[in-house]
Amino acid sequence: MKSARLAWAFLTRLPGGRHPADGESMTAATPWFPVVGLVLGGMLGVAYLALTEITSPVISALTVVGLGAIATGGFHEDGLADTFDAAGGYTIERRLEIMRDSRIGTFGTLALVVATGLKVAALSQFDGPDGAVALIAAHSLGRGAALVVMAAGPEARTEGLAATSAGLRGRAIPAVVLLCVVAATALGPPTAVAAGALALLAVASVWQARRWLGGTTGDVLGAVEQLAEIATLVVLAEIVAETGWLWV
């Protein structure tokens, strides 16, 4: 459980973990990322379930999305903003330089606004119980998608989160990803479709990162996690509204 605590401390700002001290610890912690997403999604799901009992779905969704960002310290949102800001660079070197800059630019701001709006709009389509399940699926599958991109490599830099992937290939990642897919499929056809959509997103992200940056970075992984969360919520909102979960 030591590695799980390391993953918890790395991905959230909540008590109960211990931050990885070195690259070896980070490599051991990364297979636990979807589990962190599962727990965090469950916590947010409970919050959404409670809020929908006392206020509107839109307010509930906006509050829960905000709570998710607070719980992680905006960790993944920062990666999304930095990745989209890098769109302003014309060379790989310039894009990587922009991604290192802690300041947020126009593209990054727009990306955060649109991403938040999409998450709130999709989540507000669910009632309390369905929204709780959707949040669990989105947060766990989102981090699973980031793991796939991390393991696929190559890395654009020799330091940072993406660089820990060298020790992951051929080890725990395939088993973790398979477990995520099986768990998602067990929730019913909607989550199976969402998992398929995320597989396509992961492949596209690896291709684009290689072309655009020469490989993946920690910011790219954060962007992938956010895009995967959004894709999961949007897909589930559309399918569940038409067919239900079909798991009972």
pLDDT at 24: 62
pLDDT at 202: 81
For residues 9 and 140, what is the distance between their CA atoms, to the nearest angstrom? 16
Mean pLDDT score, 202-226: 84
What residues contact 20, with CB distance under 8 A and at least 6 apart? Answer: 6, 9, 10, 26, 29
pLDDT at 135: 95
Nearest Cα residue to 12 out of 187, 125, 139: 139
Residue 160, pLDDT > 80, answer no
Question: Between residues 68 and 193, which one has the greater pLDDT?
Answer: 68
pLDDT 10s digits, 87-145: 777 788 888 888 887 888 889 999 999 999 999 999 999 988 999 999 998 998 899 88
Residue 247, pLDDT > 60, answer no
Query: Which residue type sits at 85?
Result: D
